[in-house]
Structure 1
Amino acid sequence: MMVLCKNFSGKAKPEEIGVKATDDKTLVVQLENPTPFFLELTAFYSYFPVNAKVAAAHPDWAKDAGPNYTSNGPFKLAAWEHKNKLVLEKNEHYWDADTVKLTKIEMNIINDANTELSMLENGDLDWAGAPTGNLPLDAMQTLKEKGLLEITPKAGTYWYEFNTEQKPFNNKQIRQAFAYAISRQDIVDNVTQGGELVATAVVPPTMFAENGQGLFKDNDVEKAKQLLAEGMKEEGYASVDKLPPITLSCNTEEAQAKIAQAVQDMWQKNLGVQVKLENQEWNVYYENVKNGKFQVARMGWTGDFNDPINFLEIFRTKEGNNHTRWESKAYADLLAQSSKEKDAAKRKAILQEAEKLLVDEMPVIPFYFKSTVYAKNPRLKDVVISGLGHAQYKWAYFE
């Protein structure tokens, strides 16, 4: 935890907010508790500086390119054709401008993965896929065989979320049964095909290396059947066909539909349950998830900064990004304890204990740890993909 301001209403006194500039190039931040990931936070978008004079004079400065749009990175926003294209140009005022080799980057907004790949193959694009787009799943194997598929591990986890306030997923054992009855290896091998690592934990192994081995067994069908029987007995369901109708929701994207179809088949085969698929356009879909209008829904998280708390704090309370409605005082207490622990090894142990509690309660089903998957013009060199999946073009050039 840290204190940057006492409230967000603008009524706190300057001396109360814990932040001050001691000179033109020094910012001092007073923290309330030990915060080992604080330096990571300074590279997170929410902490990027904004020109106060521009923001005061032009409150909507960030909505369009133009003379009021301010940039402090290696590139500046030169043009923005909404829903069509962004144009970045080299920022001559950047502190390390001599290192930047590219003079312009055009970023086309393309909503179809097949179109995106076709444009790459035709020489109309130099980059297709993540982090700014998607590749068609059907092309993955061919791209691998041609040696064109690039895969970089990313600090992110793909998962399904249960609405724990809706039957039958108010029952922990039934949630566990549905989680154990999935073959994640089949999904990453045959559906996503992007070099993802099977996940049976929530925090990616870039943060907890041990999680590469997971916290439970993948595709444990016998255990799943046992847990389902025990959960149904607790809830008074005489047989599988007496369970409430089950709907699995996802947004309209090729990969999401194919994963959902694979999971539907696994639940049918391994548990004998009937599952209806519900597919919605992203804005409608996410609004329903936020408002609790779902039973099981696809979601996930990619790290904002490189620390396990960024994944675990999602489930601290029912608020914010915790769409599952699950809550645990013991879990919240562990996270609070970790925020005051100065010893790094002890803090890690506390957070791992919290994660074990979370995975045992199973408000989410972890599927796989994400990767950044893309194809590019072989002449394009030195685009750096960060561990959080961001593309950095500062050092990029064409050979």
Structure 2
Amino acid sequence: MKKTNWLLLVLALVLSMFLAACSGGGDEGTSSEGEGSSDGGEKKEEKADSQDSEQVLNIMDSAEIPTMDSSIASDAVAFQFLGSTMDGLYRLGEGGDVEPGIAKDHTVSEDGLTWTFTLREDAKWTNGDTVTANDFVYAWQRAVNPDTGSEYGPYMMGGVIKNAQSIADGDTPVEELGVKAVDEYTLEVSLEKPVPYFKSLTTFGTFLPLNQKFVEEQGDQYALEADTLVYNGPFKMTEWKHGEGWTLEKNEDYWDAEAVKLEQINVKVVKDVATGVNLYETGEVDRAGLSAEFVDQYRSSDDFRILEEPVLFYLKLNQESNEILANVKARKAIQMVIDRQSMVDVILNNGSMPSGGHVPKNFVSHPETGEGFREINGMLVEKNVEEAKKLWNEAKQEVGMDTVELGYLGGDSETAKNLDAYLKDQLEQLEGLTVKVQAVPFKERLARDEKMDYEIQFSGWGPDYIDPNTWMNMWVTDGANNKTGYSSEEYDALIDKANTEFAQDPVKRFETFLEAEKMLIEQDAVLAPLYQRASAQLQKPYVKGVIANPMGPDYIYKYAYIEGK
């Protein structure tokens, strides 16, 4: 998901969700909520002045929440508000550091296979029940149970938690999942292999607990409305007007309620950037994302900011849907014909950067040298229109086609439509190619991706945990987020080696991922990388303490507050 396996894990006033990761799917160039950074990480003692200000935050999102069921969620908007209303074993805090959630601490066995979590005894659900180890056992079993139909359960837990993949495949009873309630406040997790990033993974939305009694009482109505949900996090949803917006209020029963200053968060669904900017100017919302045409207008404003994000956007190429896309030369031609620099400078104009790989800049570094992953592998794809046309013509000859028509699945927001029109124009530089753009709502795009009902798809991904694997394991054969038809025994073997043989050898593991990325992009041209997102935003100066996340929920509101309004 992240997101949170987003995305989570967000676009402000334009679709910014990713199928995922979070985590992924997604759109375009601004963050859906328009939040800025953590405002310099103000210390909690600086919040004294906030007592005189009404603690209400008004924000926007560009799309409806598809679901609030943590077993089903697979997009950034869902993971954002699950993260705002729920605590897992751990949470993310300032700088992506892992903070205590329901778990007070944990121990790990010498072989790295058994993790034992000690849970706090003062965590409550909003129905008054105590949060216990069984809530995690039930939630994790539900997420991998094939009857649930979760995308992220098998994806996040398969090959990680003992028996998860076999259960998801229907070969093993769900009760044999490697998670056990030793007692009410002790959770024991057995892994398939050592997982270097497992603590980080437990912060992701799919690993949130569920109150079994409440979920089963609601039946098929669970998570469809604000009152068919139960919460254990900093906020609780009190109103959910589908398609219009939702309201969160402070959860007074939260175990760490003293740290929560905001009393209410109001969220409006607004797809049009100009409408969002107008709402910001009239003081109806406290943040707004900016599309290209507004950036220069507001660049000198004290409210203006640009936030770089570890979120990548790319074209997915369905190798099963069209004979030409099954040809690697055609896919390389699509990669090479796009002018990424003009795309980010003119169409996005928000600080986004051209991408030539599938791991973002400033995300992970070589464990020995400290050099960034992206700096080591560099741009694996560069614009070369002449070579692209040559490869395209060779591909057409090889498959016996003179003219080609390809469907392009894009978003329905304003920025999405501008970006998709630009990419259509770029791709149609290839002789004989006609691109038919289909603009659909994000929820429909998720459904069509799942069914592989597309030819070219604009897509995005935000990390589910801070490790190259969150990007690389997406494309293994039959991977839950693959959905391109790509299958390579050699690529699968590299990912397996990184996560088994080299699981406890950080240098060899990192270098194996470097090799895998070259195969994915440079050799097999599975994707056409586009850009790494940055968000141009307006934020009222009285909004403090919002933390921007590198994974999972895009923003943390637990420590946010209003000061001097």
User: Does the pair score TM above 0.5?
Assistant: yes
Mapped to 1, the partners of 2:210 and 2:440 lie a distance apart of 33
User: Does residue 234 in structure 1 map to residue 389 in structure 2?
Assistant: no
1:375 aligns with 538
User: Does residue 393 in structure 1 map to residue 557 in structure 2?
Assistant: yes
Give the Å deviation of 1:372: 4.0
- Asked if structure 2 preserves the Cα contact closer than 8 Å seen for 1:215 and 1:356, the reply is no
Cα gap change, 1:215/1:154 in structure 2, threshold over 3 Å: closer, same or farther?
same
1:152 aligns with 307
Task: Please say which of residues 185-194 and 148-157 is displaced more in the overlay.
Answer: 148-157
Structure 2: gaps (5+ residues): 1-158, 366-371
2:424 aligns with 264
Cα gap change, 1:231/1:147 in structure 2, threshold over 3 Å: closer, same or farther?
farther
Q: In the TM superposition, what are the counterparts of 1:34-49 in structure 2 within 5 Å?
A: 34-49=194-209
1:71 aligns with 231
Q: In the TM superposition, what are the counterparts of 1:185-334 in structure 2 within 5 Å?
A: 185-205=341-361, 206-207=363-364, 209-212=372-375, 214-236=378-400, 242-269=402-429, 271-282=430-441, 283-334=443-494
Mapped to 2, the partners of 1:37 and 1:101 lie a distance apart of 31
**Alpha-carbon displacement from aligned partner over 1:335-388 (angstroms, at most 9, x marks no partner):** 111221221111111122111111021121010112344322121111111112
2:514 aligns with 352
Q: Equivalent residue of 2:308, what SS?
A: strand
Q: Equivalent residue of 2:323, what SS?
A: coil
2:3 aligns with none
Structure 1: gaps (5+ residues): 130-134
Mapped to 2, the partners of 1:145 and 1:173 lie a distance apart of 45
1:132 aligns with none
Mapped to 2, the partners of 1:180 and 1:93 lie a distance apart of 55
2:498 pairs with 338, 344, 351, which one?
Answer: 338
Cα gap change, 1:344/1:95 in structure 2, threshold over 3 Å: closer, same or farther?
same
Give the Å deviation of 1:26: 2.8
User: Does residue 2 in structure 1 map to residue 157 in structure 2?
Assistant: no
**Alpha-carbon displacement from aligned partner over 1:322-344 (angstroms, at most 9, x marks no partner):** 23211111111111112212211
1:138 aligns with 293
Mapped to 2, the partners of 1:365 and 1:11 lie a distance apart of 38
Give the Å deviation of 1:305: 2.1
Q: Equivalent residue of 1:256, what SS?
A: helix
Cα gap change, 1:2/1:264 in structure 2, threshold over 3 Å: closer, same or farther?
closer
Cα gap change, 1:143/1:343 in structure 2, threshold over 3 Å: closer, same or farther?
same
Q: Equivalent residue of 1:303, what SS?
A: coil
1:86 pairs with 237, 246, 256, which one?
Answer: 246
Mapped to 2, the partners of 1:143 and 1:167 lie a distance apart of 46
Mapped to 2, the partners of 1:196 and 1:393 lie a distance apart of 24
Give the Å deviation of 1:284: 4.5
Output the amino acid matched with 1:103.
E
Give the Å deviation of 1:171: 1.1
Mapped to 2, the partners of 1:315 and 1:336 lie a distance apart of 12
Mapped to 2, the partners of 1:305 and 1:245 lie a distance apart of 38
**Alpha-carbon displacement from aligned partner over 1:170-228 (angstroms, at most 9, x marks no partner):** 11112111211111111111111221121100122213623256342421223323433
Q: Equivalent residue of 1:168, what SS?
A: helix
- Asked if structure 2 preserves the Cα contact closer than 8 Å seen for 1:181 and 1:219, the reply is yes
Question: RCO higher in 1 or 2 (8 Å CA, sep ≥ 6)?
Answer: 2
- Asked if structure 2 preserves the Cα contact closer than 8 Å seen for 1:257 and 1:279, the reply is no
Q: Equivalent residue of 1:203, what SS?
A: coil
Mapped to 1, the partners of 2:513 and 2:474 lie a distance apart of 13
Cα gap change, 1:61/1:338 in structure 2, threshold over 3 Å: closer, same or farther?
same
Cα gap change, 1:78/1:13 in structure 2, threshold over 3 Å: closer, same or farther?
closer
Mapped to 2, the partners of 1:294 and 1:53 lie a distance apart of 40
Task: Please say which of residues 272-281 and 81-90 is displaced more in the overlay.
Answer: 272-281
User: Does residue 169 in structure 1 map to residue 346 in structure 2?
Assistant: no
**Alpha-carbon displacement from aligned partner over 1:31-68 (angstroms, at most 9, x marks no partner):** 111111211110000001112222233333422223x6
Output the amino acid matched with 1:163.
N
Mapped to 1, the partners of 2:448 and 2:192 lie a distance apart of 37
Q: Equivalent residue of 1:352, what SS?
A: helix
- Asked if structure 2 preserves the Cα contact closer than 8 Å seen for 1:318 and 1:324, the reply is no
Mapped to 1, the partners of 2:470 and 2:524 lie a distance apart of 19
2:340 aligns with 184
Output the amino acid matched with 1:210.
F
Mapped to 1, the partners of 2:403 and 2:171 lie a distance apart of 51
Mapped to 1, the partners of 2:455 and 2:554 lie a distance apart of 32
Output the amino acid matched with 1:383.
V
RMSD: 2.5
Task: Please say which of residues 161-170 and 244-253 is displaced more in the overlay.
Answer: 244-253
**Alpha-carbon displacement from aligned partner over 1:233-278 (angstroms, at most 9, x marks no partner):** 43355xxxx1323343322222222222222333344x44443332
The total of aligned residue pairs comes to: 387
Q: Equivalent residue of 1:62, what SS?
A: coil
Give the Å deviation of 1:288: 4.0
Q: Give percent identity, aligned residues only.
A: 27
User: Does residue 17 in structure 1 map to residue 177 in structure 2?
Assistant: yes
Q: Equivalent residue of 2:167, what SS?
A: coil
